[in-house]
Structure 1
Amino acid sequence: MTSQSPAADPVGDQVRQVGSTMLRGGLVPAAVVAVLVVVVAVLLAGVGALGTAVFGAVVALAVCVLGPLVMRWTASAEPMVVMGIAMISLVTKLAVLAVLLIVLDRLEVVDTRVFALSLGPVALAFVIGETVAFARAKIPTIAL
């Protein structure tokens, strides 16, 4: 029987590495798309759409970043706990976005079309970027 120090957590280290890779992979394309979305919103809807488009892009980035961060924070937990927390995180993010969109629509503070059309492409770019980064990482995700 080999003695392993309590600080050594090879599976947790792999999960943290995957989380970091996914975070970087998602942030870069999402940031590029965020800039493009803001420019397009201003060109199509005028300067008044600038704040709403920036707000939508920032909300998308903030919500998307939570996935890989939660993955990193829970890296040392049991796999079923990590999966449960990931599912709770996903449902919570979707609920927060839905409530935010409903509240903004009812308050008529921002143009919810511009908000949604800036949030959507940024989130999609993040998800595609983190998926591609994960696939390219070739980091073993299951320790045998």
Structure 2
Amino acid sequence: MDTIFIKTPLGIAKIEGDANGISVISVHQDGLVSESIPEHFQEAVSQLNEYFDGQRKAFTFTLHPKGTDFQQKVWQALLEIPYGKTMSYLELSKKLGDVKAIRAVAAANGKNPIWIVVPCHRVIGSDGSLTGYAGGLWRKQWLLEHENPVKQESLF
């Protein structure tokens, strides 16, 4: 397993993976940026940069997150939330077939190891509120605004 660090508008992203795919992307306030990027990270770094530049809405590089079968099921459902859209924890639980699993779904969402790419930031409270986010609520808000910027039309 290799690790690199890249600069993003939200802090330094730590990326872990190997030839089988990316297993972790997490964000940190600061840190040293990697000077070289191994071949098996090139596509992920390129696509993340395109995302932050507003040029990419979906990721196509290989993911290889580690988790339980249930976590994998939740993370797969997260991948189906379209760019610029949100879904509540309750809606996500219903989509997975068990409304009573809302706490388990929320816990699996919180264990998502692949920041941004598996879009747990698109899951919100039933009342539309921004709820817990491992990267900090300010990052969640930034990501949602980045994906769905409010276009104010001129009044004059």
RCO higher in 1 or 2 (8 Å CA, sep ≥ 6)? 1
TM range (shorter): under 0.3
Which of the pair is proportionally richer in strand? 2
TM superposition score normalised by structure 1:
0.24
TM superposition score normalised by structure 2:
0.23
